[in-house]
C-alpha cells in the first residue's frame, strides 16, 4: 500500500510537539479491534484529534500530553481481544523488537 493513502489518517508530523501528544498502542489484535473500538477505549482520557490503525498496532493523538500519560497509565497491559496491549508514548517507542513490518511502518510516521 502506498503510504500516500494513509495521509488522511496520519497525524501532524511536521509539528515537533505533536509527537508528544501521540500514544503508540502495540500488540493490538487489529483483525478484531477496529478504529472505532480504539477511539471508544481511549476517548475517556481526553479529546482524540487523530487515530490511525495499522496491522498489529495503532496511534492515537490527543490535544495534550496530560491525556496521553493518563491513557498510557490506564491502558498499558490491558487485555483486548485476547492480547495484552503494549502502550507507550510515541516519542518513546518500544518497536525495535525485530518485527520488521512494525519498524518500517513506525519509521514512516516520523
Task: Look at residue 94 and tell me if it is in a domain.
Answer: no
Number of domains within the chain: 1
**If you average pLDDT over residues 69-82, what whole number do you get?**
95
d(CA 42, CA 100): 27
The pLDDT, as a whole number, for residue 90 is 84
Sequence-distant (6+) residues with CB within 8 A of 55 are 30, 101, 105
Q: Is residue 48 part of a domain?
A: yes
Of these ranges, 57-61, 65-69, 106-110, the one predicted with the greatest mean pLDDT is 57-61
Domain containing 53 equals 19-89
Find the farthest-apart pair of alpha carbons in the chain and give their distance in angstroms, rounded: 35
What's the mean pLDDT when you consider all of the chain? Answer: 78
pLDDT digits (tens, 9 = 90+) for 21-39: 899 999 999 999 999 999 9
What span, in angstroms and rounded, lies between the C-alpha atoms of 73 and 84? 14
CATH number at 53 reads: 3.30.70.330
- Residues 6 or more apart in contact with residue 110 via CB below 8 angstroms: 13, 19
pTM of structure:
0.66
State mean pLDDT over 104-110: 50
Amino acid at each position: 500500500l502506498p503510504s500516500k493513502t494513509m495521509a488522511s489518517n496520519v497525524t501532524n508530523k511536521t509539528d515537533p510537539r505533536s509527537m508528544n501528544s501521540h500514544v503508540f498502542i502495540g500488540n493490538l489484535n487489529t483483525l478484531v479491534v477496529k478504529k472505532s473500538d480504539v477511539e471508544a477505549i481511549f476517548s475517556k482520557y481526553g479529546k482524540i484529534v487523530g487515530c490511525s490503525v495499522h496491522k498489529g498496532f495503532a496511534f492515537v493523538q490527543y490535544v495534550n500530553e496530560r491525556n496521553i500519560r493518563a491513557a498510557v497509565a490506564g491502558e498499558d497491559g490491558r487485555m483486548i481481544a485476547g492480547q495484552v496491549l503494549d502502550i507507550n508514548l510515541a516519542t518513546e517507542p518500544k518497536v525495535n523488537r525485530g518485527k520488521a513490518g512494525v519498524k518500517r511502518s513506525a519509521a514512516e510516521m516520523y
